[in-house]
Amino acid sequence: MTAPKTPLFYLLPLLVVLTSFSRSAAQPKTPFFPDRTGVVSYTFRESFKNDVPGTLDKIKALGLTNIEFSNLFGKTPQELKALLDERGMVCTSYGTGYNELVSKTDEVAQIARTLGARYVRVAWIPHQAPFTLEQARKAVADFNRAGATLRGQGLTFCYHNHGFEFQPHGRGTLFDYIVQNTNPQDVSFEMDILWVAHPGQDPVKLLRKYPTRFKLMHVKDLKKGVKGDLSGGTPVENDVALGTGQIDIAAVMKAARKTSIEYFYIEDESPSVDTQVPRSIACLKSLAQKK
């Protein structure tokens, strides 16, 4: 007996639901600001060096309660976690060095878990410029191995681009090579939009190219008129308040809404953070209100 055919109009509602789910499944449901926005500890590094509790109070007064730490500033992980708990603040990502990731993976995991972080991030691959395919291959192997170990301990590893990885390679770049040759279940990425724009790439296009690989983002802006390169370096004075530089922050955040990015961190390496960070917060607030 031939099975009866289901009329197409009965299937249309199901197709609409499935399509909607596939588009939104990777997107966290909470708005990017303020619920998913924090700050990188490096932004307030000079203040943290002198007064950790006072700096946390200053950050919270700005309306930010989520911090990505890459330095413990003389505290033990337990002490830092206690200071965060006292203020109702959280650490969602812990940044470590490449060598520590590779040779002390379990120790790094323990620190991250003690802080309450879900992510472990590395922001630099040791190399001799220019960055080469051989160096990228080594990084891929190290990231896959360490990422698998971290995943086994309930953590997600993210590599943070720093500009030099965009050396041309094949039909793309060495950054493409790293993304395409790392295991998606073990290696994710944190996009630093300044270090995408500085070497001449487009953050929006990169988000669209790899919508499920980016889990974190450093939101920062590059001073107008600065000409970038593949060095991975620029004077800290070239970090400016969001919306005042050469990066289209509105377009980046609009594209980011359609990706799997969970947390956004304001990062400002300049000596003017006390005036620039509030302006960056105002920029993100205004963008969050737009659909």
Q: Using one digit for the tens of pLDDT, what is the confidence trace for 72-114?
A: 999 999 999 999 999 999 999 999 999 999 999 999 999 999 9
**Domain that residue 86 falls in:** 30-288
pLDDT of 214 over the 70 cut: yes
Q: What is the DSSP string of the chain?
A: -PPPPPPHHHHHHHHHHHHHHHHHTTS-SS-TTTTTEEEEGGGGHHHHHH-HHHHHHHHHHTT--EEEES--TT--HHHHHHHHHHHT-EEEEEEE-HHHHHH-HHHHHHHHHHHT-SEEEE-----PSSP-HHHHHHHHHHHHHHHHHHHTTT-EEEEEP-SGGG-EETTEEHHHHHHHHS-TTTEEEEEESHHHHTTT--HHHHHHHSTTTEEEEEE-EE-TT----SSS---GGGEE-TTSSSS-HHHHHHHHTTS---EEEE---STTHHHHHHHHHHHHHHHHT--
Cα 202 to its chain centre, rounded Å, is 16
Q: For residues 217 and 26, which has the higher predicted lDDT (pLDDT)?
A: 217
Q: Which amino acid is at 94?
A: Y
- Note whether residue 3 is domain-resident: no
Q: What is the pLDDT of residue 28?
A: 53
Alpha-carbon dihedral sign for residues 189, 40, 149, 261: negative
Given a cut of 50, whether residue 13 has pLDDT beyond it is no
Has residue 277 got a pLDDT over 80?
yes
For the chain, the C-alpha Rg in angstroms (whole number) is 20
First to last CA, the chain: 52
Mean residue pLDDT of the chain comes to 92
Confidence of residue 254 (pLDDT cuts 50, 70, 90): very high
Closest alpha carbon to 261 in 211, 209, 220, 186: 211
CA neighbor of 118 nearest in space, from 66, 76, 43:
66
| Domain-embedded: residue 14 | no
CATH number at residue 154: 3.20.20.150
Whether 4 maps to a domain, the answer reads no
Residues 6+ apart with CB under 8 A from 76: none
Residue 2 lies in a domain: no
Over range 210-223, report the average pLDDT: 98
Is residue 117 one of the residues assigned to a domain? yes
Looking at residue 29, its pLDDT comes to 61
AA identity, residue 180: Q
The span from the CA of 235 to the CA of 252, in Å, is 23
Per-residue pLDDT at 162: 98
pLDDT at position 14 is 46
Q: Is the pLDDT of residue 117 over 50?
A: yes
**Residue 222 is assigned to a structural domain of this protein:** yes
pLDDT, tens only, 142-176: 999 999 999 999 999 999 999 999 999 999 999 99
Number of domains in the chain: 1
Residue 67 domain-assigned?
yes
Whether residue 231 has pLDDT greater than 80: yes
Q: Judge residue 50's burial from the number of C-beta atoms within 10 Å of its C-beta, 0-12 exposed, 13-18 middle, 19 or more buried.
A: exposed
